[in-house]
Structure 1
Amino acid sequence: MKISLSWLQDYVPVKMEVDRLAHLLTMAGLEVEAIEERFAYLDQVLVARIREISPHPNADKLKLCTVDTGQGTCRVVCGAPNAAEGMLAPLATVGCELPNGTVVQIGTIRGQASEGMLCSAAELALGADDSGLMALEGDLPPGTPLNQALKLTDAVLEIGLTPNRPDCLSVIGIAREVAALDSASIRRPEIRLPETHGRIEQMTSVTIESPDHCPRYAARVVENITVGPSPFWLQDRLRSVGLRPINNIVDITNFVMMETGQPLHAFDFDRLAENRIVVRTAGAGEHFTTLDGKERILEADMLMICDGRKPVAVGGVMGGLNSEIDPGTTRVLIESAYFNPISIRKTAKRLGINSDASHRFERGVDPKGTRYALDRAAQLMVDIGNGQLVEGCIDVTYDLPQAPTLELSVSATNRLLGTAVERDEIARLLTEIEFETAIKGDDLLTVATPSFRVDVSRQEDLMEEVARRMGYDNIPVTFPTLPAAIQPPPKLLTQRQRMRDLLAGMGFTETINYSFVHNDSCRRLRLPEADPRCRQLAILNPLSEDQAVMRTSLIPGMLETMRRNLSYQSRNLKLYETGKIFISEGNDRQPVEKDMLVALWSGDRIDQQWHTRPVPCDFYDIKGAVEGVLEGLRVAPVRFTRLEPEQCTYLRYGVAAKIMVAGNEVGLVGQVHPKVCGVYELKQDAFIFELDLARLLPHIPETIQFTALPKYPPTARDTTLILDEAIEAAEMLRLVDQMDESLVEEVRLFDVFQGAPITEGRKSVSLRIVYRSGEKTLEDEEVNRLHKRITDRLVDHFNAGLPT
């Protein structure tokens, strides 16, 4: 919202400096984002004296003027008929940009050089006269910038209004705030309607068929008008706030809208079929051409202003091409209405139109300001357009919104704001912005809300008014009372950060996805209906179909991220995400929230270098990643067990496992099922692991126990067994651990072999066992006895054989 200071001063005296005014407005909740000097371009327009004039050798109507600029002379080619020697006139110097967008440059006109431009008042936007040069009066020294010479200054404040303050979308609305800041009185334009003739009821009528969309519609008729350019003062007012003058009738409607905040529309009365207005909703698929020349396809609930046969405007949004004001218009019907803000918002959004009118209507205009703006526009059309006002006004009204009367507690206000304002001071602050207050008790005020404050509906809104009227910078700053004891951060936060650090150290990149997913995400993961993750919580007003429900798994978002990266030809991916999932417990209960961690690995194991060959990642890479995370968290004991097909439908059977810690399942690891990859259009294998952080946290130790480094050397022995191929190698490692031999330091698998000469259905598994004592160097005989005992136990337990 732009406000010209000179226009503002028509309604309220502004005695303070503009910077001070901007600060006070900002502290009152009306943030001034920028201040511009409207006549700054006149810095490059100088007072110049024409010293000599000679004919142009190649043009009869042009002259060569030698101009004194105060710092020398220059030659200017000029065609103004009133140019005369000794005359003072404005000279636009090279580089000056004029209001019409022209940039003055050194040029050659009919073979003669011109080093500037002598200007008329119209070219400088300082008047309407474009018949000749602007003659400057008085003893002005040449070389003085024109804005200084004529003392032209007008600051334009650009105010960033929040959507709840439509009352300030007008000059009078801002003047009301300025008057309260400076304890001044606002001067509203006095309306004196001229003499009238005829009766409007005999000429036209207004029928509202959709009162829920349009509770009020008022109209006046002006006859015998002359359409033409607006007077300079009116054009100047519109230009000061960034509007383009069109003609006197349209300019008046725009001027009154900017002045009062009430959008108006002027129809060519003779182009209205049957000379009447019908307010109704559109028919589905109805076509209509708006003033911008675009054909719109309407929907059934869009409000239309119609004549006796056809639509002539989209109500509250934009007029139609079939009833616009043109130079031949002699009779005008002026519309001033109150429209339902929600209806206008929906219509403007669907049609993709953001007009000055819709911007105000969708936020809410003053329901009682309709008639004032209508009469103001009628008066100006009679005065400026030389028209005749038809007697009477049609004003059809249904159930208009009523401004509420509220009770305001003084103690509650001070408690909320942290202030100590007296009751009478609160009453004064509200009265100055036209709230009507009455004392109801020592601690209570009754406050009647003015009709233009459509945003005030509860006691807290009044408290906000008190705060901003005091000035936000005048509210004392207080600090919350903090306990002296230091509270440790929650375990989840610290351990989650440790997981991030560990994964980042392994080359993984964190992703952050929306908590909203497609309602088909469970089907895409092939989850059975009995799975708790199928209990999805629907979003009441989703942004799109892809964000219709709260996520019950982090995996869909991770697979979407992978798909998006693959589409950008980024195929080597190591990604992770930590966040909440939401399991619905029914409409009347809060969902269960779980913290999860998911990581994905796809593409090559390492980025290809000149000395390496690409090797695709596999199950053991992602398994190693989760082992690294758990080892970094000091979680033990960890084992991986077989995952049956019915236990997880989105991982590939045989390339997946459950992650067990101390006998409790904390997550899954494996290859994403090819059918799931197909649904997400993934053209390469993906490996993931997911951890349930609530189940994992109890197994993360709070403290770390120190163990001294061994003093004595280790010794290793290898064992190779022939056993059934269905036996997991992890079972063999676990059996050795369960024997709890104090000299066994480490057991690891180092080879697996199948094929001839080993019998089909069996495999060769080789283990390396490392022995060490903390008290002495082990003898071979002692190690061999222990190693044989372990080997015999493995052979007996797994019905294994030894290689021959």
Structure 2
Amino acid sequence: MKFSLSWLKEYIPLEMGLEGLTDGLTMAGLEVDSVTPLYDSLDGVVVARIVEAKPHPNADKLRLCQVDVGADEPVGIVCGAPNAAEGLVVPCALPGAVLPGGVKIKKGKIRGEKSGGMLCSARELQLDTDASGLMELGTDLEPGTPLKEALDLFDSMVEIDLTPNRPDCLSVLGVAREAGSLQEPPVVLTRPAVSLPEADASLGTIGDHTSVTIEDADLCWRYAARLVFDVKVGPSPAWLQRRLLSVGLTPINNIVDITNFVMMETGQPLHAFDFDRLAENRIVVKRASEGEAFTTLDEKEHKLNAEMLMICDGEKSVAIGGVMGGMNSEIEEGTTRVLLESACFNPTSVRKTSKLTGIHSDASHRFERGTDPEGVVYALDRATALMAELGNGRLVEGLIDENPVPYAPRTITVDVDALNRRLGTSLSADDMAGYLARVEFTVTVSDANTLEVVPPSFRVDVERPEDISEEIARLWGYNNIETSYAKVVAAKESYPPAFEARQAVRGAFVGLGFNEAVNYSFIREDAVDRLRFAEADPRRRLVTILNPISEEQKVMRTSLVPGLLSSAARNISVQERSLRLFEVGATFIAGEGETLPQEPEMLAGLVTGDRRAASWFGKEESCDFFDLKGALEGFFEALHVSGVAFRPMAADDCSYTRQGYTAEILLDGEAIGLAGKVHGDVLKSFELKQDVFVFEMAMAPLAERISGDRQATAIPKFPSVTRDVTIICEASVRSGDAVASILDEKQPLIERAWLLDRYAGENIPEGKQSLTFRVVYRSADKTLNDKAVNKIHNRIMEMLLKRFDAVLP
């Protein structure tokens, strides 16, 4: 909701200042989002008097003006306005000024003549829509006076972020009511008095010209209308245009502007129909026909259903009730007779219609939250009086007010003691009554502990004692409520083992340079096809959402991989090509014959793009499977999880990864997951054009092995001895098996062993490979000599040759 400070001050005296107002509204539950100074674009614009105006020697439609801007000498300015004449007082933008729209004024030459500024129309300054000529100012104004000062244009626009339960503040009057309640002493709002002009007896009564029939009273609770004839459609006066511009609305014409002005003032949306375009000159309020097509004021056609409320004439629909009017009845330049509508619609119906049609208008924003049922006629009369005044119209006698669902005031009984316990306050019944009276609640103090509260009709959100508690709290001041603490004994906080395991996993991967992804648990239904799961794969047993937000979120995920691949695709689309992502979360697999699904927790991640960024010490290199494998090995090592191994995955088990580029992850010989290169077809289905390497594993067996307990060991006192061994063996031999064989020898002096190098090619027989392993030996109680180390190392070498049918190079 937007309002200007000057507009607010028309209804209440404001003693607290702008800062006090914004702080007070925020603490009262109306959070102020922003405060924007208005008319800052007029800095550098001054009052000027044209002292001479003569034709431009090189252009028929331009004039050379000598302008008094308050300086020692007149300034020469080239102007094309038809009303530029000697003696005229107008606004002048001096060099350096930046006008609305970003136009910066500079000195220059126009058709060979110097021009030291710009004489402005009202439209160029966004003070009016008149662009026919220069804006004419009062002749009593002093040249050189800043225009903001001359016209008293010191104002600010305030925007507040309202919660859906406060539609009463979707109006300047509503905000003024709240602002008045914050002042001491409180100021009770009085709405502007409405004085309707005398009706023209020669026009008869409104019943002679039109009628209103409500066929669906469950959707339209009240509908009021008046007629104004012989109106003249034209531009609105400057004050009205300025009011609309100050809250971001664009002036259109005096009739439409009046409806918008009164809506912003009172919170009651209105609609003006061209009465002569209404077939049979009558209104029928009813549901739409199924499949009916209707073109709204924004020139878009909508397909309607039978639950949408329409405003119709004798033959056709002319507006979507509470949402937007139609092209077939809008106010035009030649309109002379206007039927003005003010109504109260069912909020649920308007909300559904707005969502289904995709139309979110200022009117629907208010109706779907609830408007004041007792404010319908006041807003109608307010707009009618302005229309007769500003449109020179004649009022037709009478008012149509169809009210099939009359407003029934609610009485809420409030227990004072219970309210104080709820808020932690000690307010008396009279105190509470006083606070509620500030915002126009009617309160009867039955006894010292009971209040009978009747909310005003504009507070459609107040229905029960808890709502009254909220009103008391915010009016008394949330910051006045004392902070209290539960009287419990402090105890050491402990977390479930599963939570501790997740935190450890997150910490380890973040330490390895990964970023955590948090994706929705809902995915596309075809995700299982995109991942090429086999028909018998249990991950095809999907849990379907009954009321999905969209087709993209129709089923629960059975794997974390689709979400990660989608995240990768989004990042790569904005040129973030190098990614390291991981995610921990539940998956959902429908149980066979069971009501609830299985929810195994999984851990997944991916790497893609460059191994490292290009720099002076290295070129860009694309990552590969071994970058992923190395990250996983670092992960397991960081968590002190032993017994982990990798082995090639069988071709039949590779669904979303490539055969020959996928490894099973084993924990104590049991498969817990996989790591591999994503299959090309899968990449294509996710619109990925670069290699991606993924892993996915079950969290349960991993969590059992993650412990916060650590056993300290002494730092080695004696140096290590390193030996390498190279063998030539079959290409099918896995280096991991060879390393495991070395460590399985249970030699106490072997500290570590790993693959140092692999080579296949020139000087190596076809089908063979050369593997070089490095073994580190260390003793805890002495320095090793070569003889002892060589003896063990030779034994290791003989074991490798025998076990893998290998030879030495």
TM-score category of the 2 structures, normalised to the smaller one: 0.7 to 0.9
Residue 190 (structure 2) pairs with residue 187 (structure 1): yes
Give the aligned residue type for 2:399.
Answer: C
**For residues 63 and 713 of structure 1, what CA distance do their matches in structure 2 show?**
96
Give the TM-score normalised by structure 2: 0.79
Partner of 1:8: 8
Partner SS for 2:642: coil
Alignment of 1:322-361 (within 5 A): 322-349=328-355, 351=357, 353-361=359-367
**Which range moved further: 239-248 or 162-171?**
239-248
Give the aligned residue type for 1:705.
Answer: A
Q: 1:134 to 1:473 in 2, by over 3 A?
A: same
Give the TM-score normalised by structure 1: 0.80
* Contact persistence 1:91–1:116 (CA under 8 A): no
Partner of 1:25: 25
Residue 301 (structure 2) pairs with residue 296 (structure 1): yes
* Contact persistence 1:656–1:671 (CA under 8 A): yes
* Contact persistence 2:525–2:554 (CA under 8 A): yes
**For residues 124 and 654 of structure 2, what CA distance do their matches in structure 1 show?**
78
Partner of 2:504: 495
* Contact persistence 1:70–1:141 (CA under 8 A): no
Residue 210 (structure 2) pairs with residue 204 (structure 1): yes
Give the aligned residue type for 1:17.
Answer: G
Structure ID, larger Rg = 1
Alpha-carbon RMSD: 5.2
Q: Deviations over 1:21-80 (max 9, x none)?
A: 333223223344455565666765656678x76977979998966747275555678999
Alignment of 1:243-642 (within 5 A): 243-283=249-289, 286-292=292-298, 294-300=299-305, 301-349=307-355, 351=357, 353-399=359-405, 405-410=411-416, 413-414=419-420, 417-439=423-445, 444-476=450-482, 487=493, 491-492=500-501, 494-504=503-513, 508=514, 510-527=516-533, 533-539=539-545, 541-563=547-569, 575-583=580-588, 595-601=601-607, 619-640=625-646
Partner SS for 1:583: coil
**Which range moved further: 387-396 or 328-337?**
387-396
* Contact persistence 1:283–1:298 (CA under 8 A): no
Q: 1:644 to 1:444 in 2, by over 3 A?
A: farther
**For residues 8 and 341 of structure 2, what CA distance do their matches in structure 1 show?**
26
Pairwise CA distance, 1:93: 4.9
Pairwise CA distance, 1:365: 1.8
**For residues 801 and 44 of structure 1, what CA distance do their matches in structure 2 show?**
90
**For residues 61 and 724 of structure 2, what CA distance do their matches in structure 1 show?**
115
Partner SS for 2:459: coil
* Contact persistence 1:532–1:583 (CA under 8 A): no
Residue 236 (structure 2) pairs with residue 214 (structure 1): no
Pairwise CA distance, 1:468: 2.5
Q: 1:726 to 1:403 in 2, by over 3 A?
A: farther
Residue 711 (structure 2) pairs with residue 711 (structure 1): no
Partner SS for 1:215: strand
Pairwise CA distance, 1:452: 1.6
Pairwise CA distance, 1:656: 4.1
Q: Deviations over 1:478-504 (max 9, x none)?
A: 678897666578633552243124422
Pairwise CA distance, 1:433: 1.0
**For residues 110 and 760 of structure 2, what CA distance do their matches in structure 1 show?**
96
Give the aligned residue type for 2:70.
Answer: T
Give the aligned residue type for 2:211.
Answer: S
* Contact persistence 2:53–2:85 (CA under 8 A): no
**Which range moved further: 592-601 or 710-719?**
710-719
Give the aligned residue type for 1:355.
Answer: S
* Contact persistence 1:502–1:632 (CA under 8 A): no
**Which range moved further: 596-605 or 298-307?**
596-605
Pairwise CA distance, 1:400: 6.8
Q: 1:347 to 1:761 in 2, by over 3 A?
A: same
**Which range moved further: 617-626 or 39-48?**
39-48
**Which range moved further: 265-274 or 33-42?**
33-42
Pairwise CA distance, 1:577: 0.8
Partner SS for 1:368: helix
**For residues 754 and 62 of structure 2, what CA distance do their matches in structure 1 show?**
104
Q: Deviations over 1:546-588 (max 9, x none)?
A: 22233332212233344556667877x5523122123267899
**For residues 110 and 606 of structure 1, what CA distance do their matches in structure 2 show?**
60
Alignment of 1:96-115 (within 5 A): none
**Which range moved further: 489-498 or 63-72?**
63-72
Pairwise CA distance, 1:269: 1.5
**For residues 382 and 770 of structure 2, what CA distance do their matches in structure 1 show?**
100
Pairwise CA distance, 1:252: 2.8
**For residues 134 and 572 of structure 2, what CA distance do their matches in structure 1 show?**
67
* Contact persistence 1:170–1:258 (CA under 8 A): yes
* Contact persistence 1:550–1:581 (CA under 8 A): no
* Contact persistence 1:403–1:454 (CA under 8 A): no
Give the aligned residue type for 2:94.
Answer: V
Unmatched runs of 5 consecutive residues or more in structure 1: none
**For residues 53 and 777 of structure 2, what CA distance do their matches in structure 1 show?**
114
Pairwise CA distance, 1:769: 6.6
**Which range moved further: 589-598 or 351-360?**
589-598
**For residues 791 and 574 of structure 1, what CA distance do their matches in structure 2 show?**
41
* Contact persistence 1:576–1:597 (CA under 8 A): no
Q: Deviations over 1:201-229 (max 9, x none)?
A: 34322233444443332222233444455
**For residues 716 and 460 of structure 2, what CA distance do their matches in structure 1 show?**
76
Alignment of 1:674-713 (within 5 A): 676-677=682-683, 679-680=685-686, 686-701=692-707, 702-709=709-716, 711=718
**For residues 377 and 26 of structure 2, what CA distance do their matches in structure 1 show?**
31
Q: Percent identity?
A: 46
**For residues 608 and 2 of structure 1, what CA distance do their matches in structure 2 show?**
50
* Contact persistence 1:169–1:360 (CA under 8 A): yes
Q: 1:694 to 1:136 in 2, by over 3 A?
A: same
Q: 1:466 to 1:747 in 2, by over 3 A?
A: same
Q: 1:585 to 1:460 in 2, by over 3 A?
A: farther
* Contact persistence 1:437–1:445 (CA under 8 A): yes
**For residues 39 and 729 of structure 1, what CA distance do their matches in structure 2 show?**
76
**Which range moved further: 118-127 or 397-406?**
118-127
**For residues 793 and 111 of structure 1, what CA distance do their matches in structure 2 show?**
99
**Which range moved further: 466-475 or 533-542?**
533-542
Q: Deviations over 1:69-120 (max 9, x none)?
A: 27555567899999888x9x56535256789999877688999867667889
Partner of 2:165: 164
Aligned residue pairs total 792
**Which range moved further: 216-225 or 708-717?**
708-717
Partner SS for 1:369: helix
Q: 1:214 to 1:60 in 2, by over 3 A?
A: closer
* Contact persistence 1:645–1:653 (CA under 8 A): yes
